[in-house]
């Protein structure tokens, strides 16, 4: 889909091709503002590096937006020497909905930490699909259906939009499986699964 002009890129991390491939790296050069990890900033010109709980301000047509980097864990505890550091983001603006973007996070307790510190989340964009490249045995490196449901419960009544869940061999669960789990949990009304390229209003 033609996205038109992109003002800002929020990049969870740069060290894995499923998150930033060659075309994505080329695209970054066309965007004025890119936020990512400190490690990504050291590797890619023009990237502004953030660590968890750092904030940055953006001026937009509807007012100022606060971007907060938030914790994420791309595997089991202690995985950073292998998986690398990743972050998520929270977007806040006066009188607007608060948006949480998980990044490649597999840890439900990180979601709890974010809610404890930030407060109400209105829209949660969760990286799902139970990505599992095999380096940690049966442990997934992104949310699976059950941990996504657990995260959704922590996020109270937030609308949940799953992304980054298909298209690579290491995703071990489908979006259909995710939808079934949300249905079983009585949370189906909060789940919005977009089609590729689809634009919708929340």
Distance CA 175, CA 162 (A): 8
Task: Provide the number of structural domains found in the chain.
Answer: 1
Q: What is the pLDDT of residue 83?
A: 74
pLDDT in tens, the chain (202 residues): 577 788 999 999 887 667 788 888 888 889 999 999 999 999 999 999 999 999 999 998 879 999 999 999 987 676 676 777 999 999 999 999 999 999 999 999 999 999 999 999 999 999 998 877 667 667 788 899 999 999 999 999 999 999 987 756 677 788 999 999 999 999 999 999 988 888 888 8
Residue 41 belongs to some domain of the structure: no
Q: What is the pLDDT of residue 130?
A: 86
Q: What is the pLDDT of residue 129?
A: 83
Distance CA 28, CA 136 (A): 31
Q: What is the pLDDT of residue 78?
A: 67
Residue 129 belongs to some domain of the structure: yes
Distance CA 130, CA 60 (A): 35
Residue 150 belongs to some domain of the structure: yes
Range of the domain at 58: 51-190
Q: What is the pLDDT of residue 167?
A: 58
Distance CA 7, CA 31 (A): 6
Residue 161 belongs to some domain of the structure: yes
Query: For the domain that residue 176 is a member of, what is the CATH number?
Result: 3.60.15.10
pTM here? Answer: 0.91
């Amino acid at each position: 889909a033609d996205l038109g002009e992109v003002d800002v890129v929020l990049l969870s991390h740069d060290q894995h091709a499923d998150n930033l491939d060659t075309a994505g790296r080329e695209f970054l050069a066309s965007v004025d503002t890119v936020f990512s990890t400190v490690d990504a900033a050291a590797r890619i010109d023009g990237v502004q590096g953030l660590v968890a709980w750092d904030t940055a301000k953006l001026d937009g047509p509807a007012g100022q937006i606060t971007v907060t980097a938030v914790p994420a864990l791309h595997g089991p505890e202690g995985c950073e020497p292998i998986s690398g550091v990743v972050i998520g983001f929270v977007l806040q603006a006066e009188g607007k909905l608060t948006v949480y973007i998980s990044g490649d996070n597999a840890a439900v307790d990180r979601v709890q930490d974010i809610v404890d510190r930030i407060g109400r989340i209105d829209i949660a964009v969760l990286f799902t699909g139970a990505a599992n490249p095999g380096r940690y045995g049966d442990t997934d490196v992104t949310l699976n259906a059950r941990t996504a449901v657990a995260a959704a419960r922590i996020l109270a009544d937030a609308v949940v939009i799953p992304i980054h869940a298909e298209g690579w061999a290491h995703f071990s669960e489908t979006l259909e499986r995710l939808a079934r789990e949300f249905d079983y949990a009585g949370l189906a009304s909060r789940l919005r699964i977009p089609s590729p390229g689809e634009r919708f209003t929340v």
